[in-house]
Chains A and B, each alone.
Chain A
Amino acid sequence: MTTTPVVTTPLVVQEAQGPGRGLSLLKRLRPSRLIVNIVLGAIALFWLVPSLSMMIISFRPAGLFELSGWWKVFTAPSQLTFQNYKELFTGGSSTVLGGGVPSGLAPGSVLDALRTSLEISIPATFLVTAIASLTAYSIVFGRWRGRNAVFLTIVGLMVVPLQVALIPVASLYKDMGSAFGWNPFGTITGVVIFHVAFGLPFGVFLMRNFYTGIPTALIEAGRIDGAGEWTLFRRVVIPLGIAAAASLAIFQFIWVWNDLLVALVFLGGDPHVPLTLFLYDQERTLAANFWIVSTGSMVSIVVPLIVFLAFQRHFVRGMLAGAVK
């Protein structure tokens, strides 16, 4: 099991060297490199088709969707228009789009969904990263007994399907409502709490694996010098573990941003829904509005796309570590 690529951070560094090493080997092997290039080029083009088609549909007049394929745009580029985006962000339900397609969309609902997505994803990401770091610190540098058992329990929790918790948590939330007058069911807070709890096992796992690489002597020296645990955590461990925390945060952000199920259970029927639920509702409850669905999808992928392209390496590292989630 020594070659298992999970978790070890050096892996990513090695991965960066991979293609180069492959090439040097290749020179000796001399396969027909041209064929490989052509095949992979065709695969890459093929892989781009779905994203490309969604993008083009979002830039074509709504009425054209039923009439002709998006690929017609290559012979008629004048079809392209920003109309759908304009309508999505500013239009009202009474307007009629090109081709006689009624928009059927409440004004500002996409902006609202965008804001809701952020309101869920940002706190959930921050809390998971912070709480997982604290927990991992306690497990790695604490001296209480049973740390390993706690860690293994958390590892076990990583694969627990969140379906097993939905019904009891929903009733727990409602019970909290009758007991304390505060019912997280149907609120963004309720969704965030659920995401944080189910993000923790992986988060603790990732942070713990990174923290075990920090020399214990460093912490011990700090303790002898009289530093409290909080100070050690803040001043020593967090700065050293910032890369792992970034990986976790980005991974978690994209995970929560793209969630449908939790939002569906805890926010279904609510006027304020995140983008995934907005798209799902549009697709499931209203017919013939493909322009909203494709344009809305484009809006929904912009944020994770930017996050991914900006922090690609961190995301991949988080994913490699979480290969078991």
Chain B
Amino acid sequence: MAVVAVDQQHGPARRSARRQGQHHLQSLVFLVPGAVLLLAIVIWPAIATIRYSFYNATATKAVGLSNYKSLFSTADTLIAFRNNVIWVLVFPFIVTVIGLVFAVLSEHIRWATAFKIVIFLPIVFSVTASSLVFTQIFQLDPHVGVMNAIVQTVEDYFHPPGAYPLSAGQTAASLATSGVVAGPNGTLESGLEVRAGGTVRMGLTGVNPDTLTVLGARPARLPTPSAGAVTGLVWRDFSVSNPSNVSGVLPGEDGFPNLHLALLRSDGSIAATTTTDAFGRFIFSNVGAGPFHIQIQASNFTQGFSGTFWLGPQSLTPTSSLSQTAQALLSVPLIDISMILAYLWIWAGFTMVIVAAGLAALDREAQEAAHVDGATEWQTFRRVTIPMLAPVLTVVFVTMVINVLKIFDIVVNLGIDTSQPGGQSSTLASDVYYLGFGGGVHTGLASALAVMLFILVLPAMLFNLKRISGK
């Protein structure tokens, strides 16, 4: 080697050559701390993990390929694979596209720096803190969680809830107290027939007094009968001071305001409709002969949107004709979608900044030439800018694939049932943790999973090596 050659030289040349040798030695010494750490904490453990993956739960007995067999045959780990597949298929593509769109659009505004900082900031926060932010954003109650508040606003616009929404498990029929019977399809009807000039009393209970207060209810008051008209009262037939008196209209009993009613002919067709006033009174004028029934329409009791459980166990399942295992593997849990939304919020800034840097490094002449040749802006973007950006977009995409293959923090913070393998949102990385250090410790399985993770990132490693050594 170099040192041997040096010893054969003489005089000053030999002295400087020996010094060269010292330089070589010294610079090799510089390598020692890094090399020791990498060998002891990264390389040797990775090899040890491969070895463990062929051992049993306590790493005491070799079991051949059985850990790998169980990886691909137990539903628990298959669900983790399923979730990783969802993440890899959905997330890198969307986040790259968002980054590209943001980067391109932000070139057209004067406050691009401010915009980029706003989008970028979540990266600086820990995924743990960000996950906690999203637990409150996804809260079930629309009065607390902003996501459900937004959905509620939209839902209620298209499907307005009734003035008297039933609570969960309650039926309209259960409200009927005096002079009222259940009608078809969630309606209520007056128990007795009524003719022109008659008055109907319909007593209901089971409605929250607060609901009445909000609607501006006044104490119930019987209407004055009127010739040729059907009049009536719908009221809360319950008084705290005299709970046993049913069907009497007592002081302290409020009318039901704003209730939608229909006048039914004896054949069931609707002759007229009206709405009660603040005292619970109503009147159908000039009704003709009759007899009639009064119907309280079902729309009064329609429930409003009460919140989607974004972090809950529901899934989008493709078809029910499949076996249960197949369904579990092919369904997309709502929680995965929620986590992907949160993760987009975190990482869009990253892809945006890298694409923007790539965009800034582009030679603009090609684009300008395309414009001179009459290409529209979209054509230029699609046919010139995107192909020129392709290498950058590939790097971003691959980076995000590696990132979500190893996805852990958001899964254990936002996910459900991740405290065990087979939890609905568990991933390979969360299973490695729980099998290796959590409840069901199984060194062999955990190692086999870690090896799978390693194999999955190998293409990315080769991609990097090719890219970097080719430079």
User: Which chain A residues have a beta carbon within 8 Å of chain B's beta carbons?
Assistant: 1, 3-6, 11-12, 14-15, 17-19, 21-23, 25-26, 28-29, 31, 33, 36-37, 39-40, 43-44, 47-51, 53-54, 57, 65-71, 131-132, 134-135, 137-139, 141-144, 150, 152, 154-170, 172, 193-194, 196-198, 200-201, 204, 223-224, 226, 228-230, 233, 254, 257-261, 264-265, 268, 275-276, 279-280, 283-284, 290, 293-294, 297, 300-301, 304-305, 307-308, 312, 315-316, 319-320, 323-325
Contacts and interface: CB of A to CB of B under 8 A. Distances in A.
Contacts of B439: none
Contacts, number: 368
A167 B107 contact: no
A169 B43 CA distance: 11
Interface residues of B, number: 119
B340 interface: no
B464 A167 contact: no
B416 to A, nearest CB: 11
B27 A137 contact: yes
A1 to B, nearest CB: 6
B10 interface: no
Contact of A283 (B121, B135, B433, B464): B135
Contacts of B48: 167-168
B5 interface: no
Given A167-B450, A168-B52, A258-B126, A142 B24 contact: yes
Contacts of B391: 1, 3-4
B42 to A, nearest CB: 5
Nearest to B98: A43
A39 B19 CA distance: 65
Going nearest first, the 9 A-B pairs with the smallest beta carbon separation are: A18-B360, A22-B107, A142-B27, A197-B41, A135-B34, A258-B126, A168-B45, A165-B45, A229-B26
B392 A132 contact: no
B20 to A, nearest CB: 8
B34 A204 contact: yes
B199 interface: no
B409 interface: yes
Nearest to A44: B118
B357 A229 contact: no
A207 to B, nearest CB: 11
Interface of B: 2, 16, 19-20, 22-24, 26-28, 30-31, 33-35, 37-38, 40-46, 48-49, 52, 102, 105-110, 112-115, 117-119, 121-130, 132-137, 141, 143-146, 149, 345, 350, 353-354, 356-362, 364, 367-368, 371, 377, 388-389, 391-392, 395-396, 398-399, 402, 405-406, 408-409, 412-413, 419, 428-429, 432-433, 436-437, 443, 446-447, 449-451, 453-454, 457, 460-461, 464-465, 467-471
A69 B371 contact: no
Contacts of B136: 53-54, 57, 65, 70, 290, 294
B55 to A, nearest CB: 11
Contacts of A172: 40, 45
Contact of B28 (A5, A144, A157): A144
A160 B399 contact: no
Contact of B433 (A44, A142, A265, A312): A265
Contacts of A200: 34, 37-38, 42
A139 B443 CA distance: 37
